[in-house]
Amino acid sequence: MAPKRDLSKPLETVSFRCNPCRHTFDAEPLRVDEEPELEHHPFSYVAECPLCGEEAGQAPFHKALVKAWANATGPRTAAGKAAVTKNIEGHPTPEESLRTRFNAMKHGMSAETAQYFPSRPGKYPACSSCDVDHSYCAQQPACVKQTQLFMVHHAAFEQRNPKHLTPIYSSIQASITAIIQQILQTIIADGVKLEAPAWAVDREGNVVIGEYQDIATGQTKRIMEVKAHPLLKPLQEFLSRNNLSLADMGMTPKAIEQEEQQMGKLQPGQGQPSTLTLEDFAAKQAESLQALKVLAERANARKQRDPVLIEYQQQNGDGQ
């Protein structure tokens, strides 16, 4: 049986987007269609656009939010669902409570999100690539995308399951890795050491380049200041804060040595002393093999005395 999903009943209000006139709005669905292939929430919605009267479908950002919410809430296995049903007992059913919670949570979260990210369409760096209609966002108390982030985090923390945040953090981690690569490429292109002429401002306010006369050759030489590439420091911070150092990845000689020492010891089984070394194990195994040899010899001797076998061997002229 396929595990039942949360959000298994239709939503009461949905964010719609009209394709012809690009209007985005919240409304009760006019029509709910079943979409069995959408496992997390098997419904699609239609509403009439209040501006142009055309049929509008669920806005893509809202679809994505429902999916993220479905991932972040509720047990997915039948056993987990049974446990939740037992906890709640009576009404509302887990599906009903999660369904109403989706809208309630969205409502409550936008107020909380507004403290940090009030709706300012076009003003945040992420706005340029955001798929939420700016005029719709302007009517909301908080940035729609940030509200979604808050919702999914709250759900994951309520469930005490950081696994639900994996999709978000894998994207962040990929972005961080991309930034580290850009920093590296920039440093390599520029050189780790940067040289610039030494300069100062004199009393008259003129910029003076530092120069001196080489006594041996009589030539004028420019004083150069040498600096480490300014991106080296952020690079180092990125690497250490992301636990990407050689030690973190088990690539230092010390880490490898410790791992190899660990490999010589077997993991303790239940009720066994925890310090069974590989040598002890080998000795035990040799002991068992010895015992097995004795058993095999005894069995063989018994077989040789088997009257049926003896008769068979005599009939076939096989005295052995």
Summarize as ranges the residues that interact with Zn ion (CB under 5 A). 18, 21, 23, 49, 51-52, 54
Minimum distance between the CB of residue 167 and Zn ion, rounded to whole angstroms? 32
In angstroms, give the least distance from the CB of 52 to Zn ion: 3
Least distance from Zn ion to the Cβ atom of residue 25, Å: 9
Pick 55 or 112: Cβ nearer Zn ion: 55
CB of 51 to Zn ion, least distance (A): 5
Nearer to Zn ion, 56 or 143 (CB): 56
Residue 48 is inside which H or E element, if any?
strand 43-48
Nearer to Zn ion, 39 or 48 (CB): 48
Query: Is 54 or 158 the residue whose CB approaches Zn ion more closely?
Result: 54
Look up residue 3 and give its amino acid.
Answer: P
Beta carbon nearer to Zn ion, 52 or 249: 52
* Least separation in angstroms between CB 92 and Zn ion: 35
- CA distances to 91, 156, 189, 212, 219 from 196, rounded to whole Å, are 74, 51, 16, 15, 19
Q: Is the peptide bond before 253 cis (omega within 30 degrees of 0)?
A: no
Our CB check for Zn ion shows the closer of 52 and 283 to be 52
Least distance from Zn ion to the Cβ atom of residue 22, Å: 7
| List of residues 6+ apart from 117 with CB closer than 8 A | 124, 142, 143, 146, 147
Phi, psi angles (nearest 5°) of residue 16: -110, 155
The 8-class DSSP code of residue 112 comes to H
Measured from the CB atom, the residue of 54 and 190 that comes closer to Zn ion is 54
**Closer to Zn ion at the Cβ: 135 or 314?**
135
Cα distances from 99 to residues 67, 70, 311, in angstroms, run 13, 10, 81
- Residue 56 CB, shortest distance to Zn ion, in Å, is 6
- What minimum distance in Å lies between the beta carbon of 67 and Zn ion? 25
Our CB check for Zn ion shows the closer of 21 and 249 to be 21
The whole-angstrom separation of Cα 256 and Cα 151 is: 42
Task: Name the residue type at position 23.
Answer: H
C-alpha of 87 from chain center: 30
Contacts for 40 with CB less than 8 Å, ≥ 6 apart: 5, 6, 7, 66, 67, 70, 71
Cα angle value 130/8/72 (rounded, 5°)? 50
Sole residue written with tokens 């040289």? 195
Q: How many residues does the chain have?
A: 320
Minimum CB–partner distance for residue 156 and Zn ion (Å): 35
What residues have CB less than 8 Å from 228, skipping those under 6 apart?
A: 192, 193, 194
